[in-house]
Amino acid sequence: MDCLIVERPEVCPQRPQGLCADKGYDYPSARQAITDRHYTPHVRSRGEERAERAANPGYRARRWVVEACHSWLNRFRKILVR
């Protein structure tokens, strides 16, 4: 996080900046590193998706756009080889 290429806007309490992270960053030292750099952490905790799925029987997991695109390209082997 210290070597980000994109310049951040000026940090101010009126407009806090958030940082979204996945379950791999759900431990105290990672959360502390995020808050030390003046970000608001948005980290899904482990088991949160499973609990959401159990609470809503019609829940369907969403895929990232990149994963959906790779899946689509994977179905067309001729394009994948080239």
Q: Does 64 score more than 80 pLDDT? A: no
- Reference 46, options 19, 27, 18, 67; nearest CA is 27
pLDDT of 29 reads 92
The tens digit of pLDDT for each residue in 29-60 reads 988 998 888 888 888 877 777 777 777 777 66
Q: Is this model's pTM higher than 0.85 or not?
A: no
CA atoms within 13 A on the CB side of 42: 5
